[in-house]
Every structure is written in C-alpha cells, then in structure tokens.
A and B are shown apart, each in its own frame.
Chain A
Amino acid sequence: MSTLASAKDRLAAIRPKGRISPWWILIGLAAALFLLSVLQLVTGADDLASSGTIRATIIATVPIALAGLGGLWSERSGVVNIGLEGMMILGTFGAGYLGFHYGPWAGVLGAIAMGAIGGLIHAVATVLFGVDHIISGVAINIIALGATQYLAALTFTGLPGGGQTQSPTLGDVNSITIGPLSDALGDIEGSGIFFVSELAAGLRALVTELSLLVLLALLLFVLTYFVLWRTAFGLRLRSCGESPAAAETLGVNVYRYKFIAVLVSGGLAGLGGGFLALVASSNYRDGQTGGRGYIGLAAMIFGNWRPGGLLAGSGLFGYTETLGLRRGGESVHALLLLVAALLVIVAIWQWRRLRHVSAGVSAVIALGAAALYYSIDAVSGDFTRMAPYVTTLFVLAFASQRLRMPAADGQIYRRGTAG
C-alpha cells in the first residue's frame, strides 16, 4: 500500500500544477454562467448574462487575449515583452491602412505584419544587441505611438471620413449568423427560465454575427497550445526560456528560436490591434488600444504563463470592461454580493486548512463587500474598470508562490556562453 501511495505522490509531483485542460474551461464557463444566473435571480440585475453582454464580452476579450498570447510566445522563449502595447498600436494602423485600401482581410494581414515589425525591432534589440528587455519594450511603445500618429497624419488626412487621428470607415470582416438557431435561442432567452435562459443567451452570442476573427483567435489558442506543448519545435522554444545555456549545449539555435518567438508575439499583438480597428470598432483611431497590451500581459501572468489560464484571465478582464460600459453600476453592484459569497467560502476553506490568518482576511473582505452591497445602490464605472487591475494585484500578492514564470525569463543571453 505504501509503495502505491508513494508512487501516486510521485505522479502528482510530476504532473505540472496550474494546468487547465480545455474541458475544465468549458465546465468553468458553465459554472460562471450558473453563478451569474443565480445572482440575476437574487439581485434582479438582469444585464449580467444577457446575450448582448456576452457578445460584448467576447469582443472585449479577444484583443486582450491575443495580446496575452503574444506575450506568452515571447516569454516562453525567455524574452519579456512590455512592447506588446506598441505592437498593438502598430497593428491598429496596419489594419486601418491596408484595410481601407485593399479590404478588411488585407487589413488583418496588415495588422499582423505591422505588429511583427514591432516584434522584429524588439528581437533585434534584445536578442542581438543584448538590450534590457524592459528598456527595449518601453522604447518600442514610444516609437510605435509616434510612428502611427505620424503615419496616420501622412496617409489618412484628406481621405473621406479620415483625418490626422482616424482612418476612413473600414469594411467588415465576414461574420457568421445561423439564422434559425439564433432566433430559436432568442426565444428561449426571452422565456426567462432560470439558467436555461442564460445558457441560451451564451449560445446565441456564439451563433449571431460572430466575427470570423473571433474564431481565428480561438483557433490560434488551440494552435499555440499544440505547437508549444506538443511538438519538438515547441519544446525547444520553451527550453530557450527555461535554460538557454542547456538548450544551446543540445544544439538548439537559441537566437533563432527567440527571434521566431518574438516575431510571432508581435504578429499576435498586431492582430489584437487589428481586431480593435476592424471588429470592435469600424476604423483606426488614435489611442484605440487604451493600454490593452499591458492588460494582456497581466492576463498572461494571471494565467500562469499557460494558454488556458490566459484565456480565463482575458475573459475576466473583458467581462469587467464590458460591465463598465453597459449599465455597469447595477451589474457590478450585484457582483459585490457574489464576491462576498465566494470569499465566505474561501474563508471557511482556509479555516479548515488551519490557515487562520488568511481565513480572517478573507472573512473581513467578505464582510466589507457585503456591507458595501447593502449600503450603496450602484458602483461607479471607474471602480468597475479598476477591478481587473486590483484583482491582478491581489493574485500577484497572494498567489505569487504558485505562479511560475519561465526560469530564464527576461535574462539576456549571449551566444556561446554555454561553455
């Protein structure tokens, strides 16, 4: 028996922590939807899980998720990428310029290409010249902002509907609607049956005017997981992020892998920017990214440098962003009750694990949230938008021991130092 138990322990030790399989994401989504429908029932805030909210959440999530995916590629190869924001900005311009002249799909390519140019600069600076990764990222953010403003003034001024700070209206990327299904689900959503109606709303958002770019983004997540964790190429790329010296002794061309990773990273971030210009709105506008590159980075850390966690983190950010815009005061006010309830559960759980201090902290915060819920009627939109950042800070503060970034992340590696 004891040998069996120890073998089991060893297996548990070998299995990496913090992994989220695709099935868990689906179960998690259903659970979140269930919680939201309970909350709607209790509080009467009926915009928490309507199909409109869910659709807006998807639109808000994708750019953050794509930026985060870019960060994932780069950091898995050991290059910290603060320049994601700049690469996204470049992407918005690429989408605006090529999208106007050659159609929306050319805009998608333009966004990827412009983002990849930003990635190229980052790769040359950090990998070839050994510039500190953060410094290079900051520089790219400055350059990208200046370059897009300069180029936008150069190329969009005088065009119909265009100007120094915005491009003309761009065409739409194709979207799919499964008409009958959408209508049927709409009927179910309107029926107001507990949970069934919310489930229908969620499905309806997926079959009504779903942009192909959303599907593409999901596909890229699956592809990333497969390439990075299921192929020899991915193993080598990740080995550059864990221990470049060891990788080099095994014959891996560290520079080449880092270059590829950072280029892909830029392309993905650029695509995220392109999504903002093409799908989330209908043209390039100055300041469109609004710091989403940084949020993507936060979502990636939140997700422990894993695609599944990153997607979950992006969803959280996207949802709070949406609530900030759509009758957010009421919805977030309702969420306070959920936060309080969840924290009570956490407190009980921690207490039973004899961690009395953290149990006490959770209980106090839970009480605070509940008190806040009963004392006010609506939460200001500013606090709604603040919520994801505060959440990330808390996650960093309390779960930093469980987060594990690539071991050589952010370190400068020079070829030939493996000895």
Chain B
Amino acid sequence: MTPRLTRIALGIAAPVLALAAAFLITSLVLLIAGDPVGEVWSTILSVPATRNIANIINSATVLYISGLAVAVGFRMNLFNIGVDGQYRIAAFTAAFVAGEAWLPGYLNTLLAIVAAILVGAAWAGIAGVLRASRGVSEVISTIMLNAISTYLVAYLLRKAAVQEQGSNIIATKEIPEGSRIPAFSLSDQAGTTVYGFVFIAILLGIGYWVMLNRTRFGFDLRATGRSETAATASGINTKRMIIYTMLISGGLAGLVGLPILFGAAYSYGSTFQSGLGFAGIAIALLGRNHPIGIALGALLFAFLDEQSNPLQILVGVAPDIVKITQGIIVLTVVIAYEVVRRIGVRIEQRQVAQALERAARDRAEVSA
C-alpha cells in the first residue's frame, strides 16, 4: 500500500472501529438486561419512512449548528461547555423579539436572528473575558453561566410570557406568520416538512470551513490552538483570540434553537427542548471538528434518536438505550483515533526504516 492509501484506510478505520465498539457494548448491556438484542437493532437500523427522514434532517440541523459552535472553540483548545446556556438564552431573546414584531415580515426575522447571535455571543463572551483577563477556566465559568441562564430565562419568561387560559404552560408571544421561516415538504404526505433553516445551517458549515482554512483569522485561530506559545512568538495576540473565538462560538450557539423556533415551535416556552449543547460537544468530537464530519455525526445522532422512538411500543425496550450508545461513541471515537494514530506512527516508522535500509544497501553495492 502506498503511504497515501494507508493514511486514508487508517482515517476510515477509526470511526468504523469506534462505531463497532459502541454497538458491541450496547448489545452487551441489552444482553445482560435480558432485552431482545436482535429486535432492538433491527428496529433501529430499519429503513426510515419519509416522515422519519424529515424528522432526522430537522433534528440533525439543530445538532449540526450546536456541533459547529463547540467545534470553533475546540480548534482553539477552548472548551465551550456553555453552548447549552447560550442557545437557551438566545432562543428566548429571539422568540421575544420576533413575538413583539416591531418590524414587518422578514425584517422581523432578521432582527430576531441578529439579536440571538448577539446575546449568545455576549453570554459566551463573559467566559472569554474572564479567561483572557483573569485566567478563569472557561469550563468552570461556562458551567456556572449555564445554571445562571436557566434561572434567568425562567425569570424573564415569567415576566414576558403570556399564559393561555387553563394551561400551565407559559410561553412568549407567538411569532407572526409572516416572520416564520418557510419549510418545504419531502412528499405529499403530512408531517414530512423540513425546516427552511437547513440551508442556513449548510451555509454556516461552508462559512466555518472558509473562515478556518482560507482566512488569516482562521490561521491565527488554529495556530493558537496548536501552540499558544508559538502563536504568541509569531505575533498573534492570543488573549484577543480567546475572546474572539468565544464570541464566534457563542454567536453560533445563539442560532442553535432557531430552527425549532422559526420552523415548529413559534414561541419559547418552559417546554423548549434542552440539552442540545451537550449533544453538540459529542457531535463535534465525533466529526473531528471538520464541517462534513460534524454533519455526519449530527445525522447519526439524529438517526439514532428518531429510530429509537418506537422501541417502547414495538419491542418494549426504553428508547434511552441509544443515549448509552451515543455516550459510548464519544469515548470510543477518541480512543479509536488515538489507537489508530499510534498504529499509523508505527507503520510510518517501519516504512522509513525500510527505505533507509534499502538506500544503505544500494550505496554498499555501488561502492563494491
């Protein structure tokens, strides 16, 4: 095998290995618990119906943006655990702004999106400033900010919300119809609509790639992530980079809840989906911070979530089993890449040694 082929093979081997290990461990759990392993997998791995495909694309869109937000930080060695808090406070802001409808039609939508980005960025920026100016670990500060945002949103929601008669659910005002982002249907059947936001998500992915790989800023960011001392030595202001990166990560995080808001929920209530930020961490790891990798990771997670839904009815197994799979994937992916990297290094060393040996032999023959 040529070195290039070896590298490609190893690159594919890692995720395949990780998935296989995760499936194996999950099967073991099922086996020990006495649940029907075969039926569980045949339900999950069956071909999804059109309706399910639409759901998968929808939740993958949301997870994708969350993954991108985390990945920006990762490229710079920053661990933005706070995506969870950032997207909730931003989604609330967007819902409030759009619900008030100060501007007509899509201008209103635009205003709400900008507000969400700004609020998400500001919330993450607190952690960025604390890290840059006071050396506070962003992991700890974003965990604190997550909790603070939970209570802050709960408080603001009670202030800003309208309560429907005879219902316990409180939510912001509904977004007017003219400001919603139109969805498109995969087929004529009902329930097969896909968020229009999916295109924005794709654009974000392209933008992410261009920013990191084709701009000076992206180079600085990656350089700082690789080695802060080397970056400082080459004239990069690493403290400013920390703040900028947290702002970008938070701005992206601000968009996470918007596909749901503008495509399905139309208001922010106490039942708005939570926990998307932590899924984003798993997906960014799974996709190795690459925009296409993250997309595949998001699709895989969304696929597992959607396909596990009927487990309870069909085979009597709690669908939470796929959460175990998802968590294990996070671990096995990291371990598999490390194992494969070590193997790759060993193969390379052997090839270099062989080449050197050959060269030495040739020289000996020439001189003889």
Chain A CB within 8 A of B321 CB: yes
A–B Cβ pairs within 8 angstroms, 5 of them: A142-B326, A146-B325, A151-B33, A400-B134, A400-B136
Q: In the complex, are the beta carbons of B152 and A131 less than 8 A apart?
A: no
Residues of B within 8 A of A398 (CB): 134
Q: How far is the CA of A150 from the CA of B79 in the complex (A)?
A: 29
Residues of A within 8 A of B326 (CB): 142, 146
Chain A CB within 8 A of B76 CB: no
Given contacts A386-B148, A397-B136, contact A146 B143 (CB under 8 A): no
Chain B CB within 8 A of A319 CB: no
What sequence of 0s and 1s flags, for each residue 398-409 of chain A, a beta carbon within 8 Å of any chain B beta carbon?
Answer: 101000000000
Binds B, one of A20-28, A270-278, A303-311, A388-396: A388-396
Q: In the complex, are the beta carbons of B330 and A138 less than 8 A apart?
A: yes
Q: Which of B81, B143, B151 contacts A382 (CB 8 A)?
A: B151
Q: In the complex, are the beta carbons of A297 and B134 less than 8 A apart?
A: no
Q: In the complex, are the beta carbons of B155 and A383 less than 8 A apart?
A: yes
Q: In the complex, are the beta carbons of B134 and A397 less than 8 A apart?
A: yes
Q: In the complex, are the beta carbons of A132 and B323 less than 8 A apart?
A: no
Closest chain B residue to A128 by CB distance? B335
Q: How far is the CA of A398 from the CA of B134 in the complex (A)?
A: 8
Q: Which of A140, A380, A396 contacts B141 (CB 8 A)?
A: A396
Chain A CB within 8 A of B35 CB: yes
Residues of B within 8 A of A131 (CB): 331, 334-335, 338
Q: In the complex, are the beta carbons of A383 and B282 less than 8 A apart?
A: no
Closest chain B residue to A391 by CB distance? B144
Q: In the complex, are the beta carbons of B152 and A382 less than 8 A apart?
A: yes
Chain B CB within 8 A of A364 CB: no
Chain B CB within 8 A of A136 CB: yes
Interface size on A, residues (CB 8 A): 45
Chain B CB within 8 A of A220 CB: no
What sequence of 0s and 1s flags, for each residue 143-167 of chain A, a beta carbon within 8 Å of any chain B beta carbon?
Answer: 1111101110110000000001000
Chain A CB within 8 A of B217 CB: no
Q: In the complex, are the beta carbons of B330 and A396 less than 8 A apart?
A: no
Q: In the complex, are the beta carbons of B331 and A297 less than 8 A apart?
A: no
Chain A CB within 8 A of B110 CB: no
Q: In the complex, are the beta carbons of B331 and A150 less than 8 A apart?
A: no
Q: In the complex, are the beta carbons of B324 and A146 less than 8 A apart?
A: yes
Chain A CB within 8 A of B327 CB: yes
Q: In the complex, are the beta carbons of B148 and A142 less than 8 A apart?
A: no
Q: In the complex, are the beta carbons of A145 and B323 less than 8 A apart?
A: yes
Residues of B within 8 A of A44 (CB): none
Chain A CB within 8 A of B209 CB: no
Q: In the complex, are the beta carbons of A142 and B136 less than 8 A apart?
A: no
Q: How far is the CA of A149 from the CA of B334 in the complex (A)?
A: 25
Q: How far is the CB of B140 from chain A (nearest CB, A)?
A: 6
The 9 closest A-B pairs by CB, nearest first: A146-B323, A143-B327, A142-B327, A153-B318, A149-B320, A382-B155, A139-B330, A382-B151, A150-B320
Q: Which of A149, A297, A385 contacts B151 (CB 8 A)?
A: A385
Q: How far is the CB of A332 from chain B (nearest CB, A)?
A: 13
Residues of B within 8 A of A142 (CB): 278, 282, 323, 326-327, 330
Q: In the complex, are the beta carbons of A146 and B327 less than 8 A apart?
A: yes
8 A Cβ contacts from A115-152 to B: 121, 125, 129-132, 134-136, 138-147, 149-151
Q: In the complex, are the beta carbons of B278 and A297 less than 8 A apart?
A: no
What sequence of 0s and 1s flags, for each residue 257-293 of chain B, a beta carbon within 8 Å of any chain A beta carbon?
Answer: 0000000000000000000001001100100000000
Q: How far is the CB of B338 from chain A (nearest CB, A)?
A: 6
Given contacts A139-B282, A393-B130, A396-B134, contact A154 B327 (CB under 8 A): no
Residues of A within 8 A of B282 (CB): 138-139, 142
Q: How far is the CB of A270 from chain B (nearest CB, A)?
A: 17
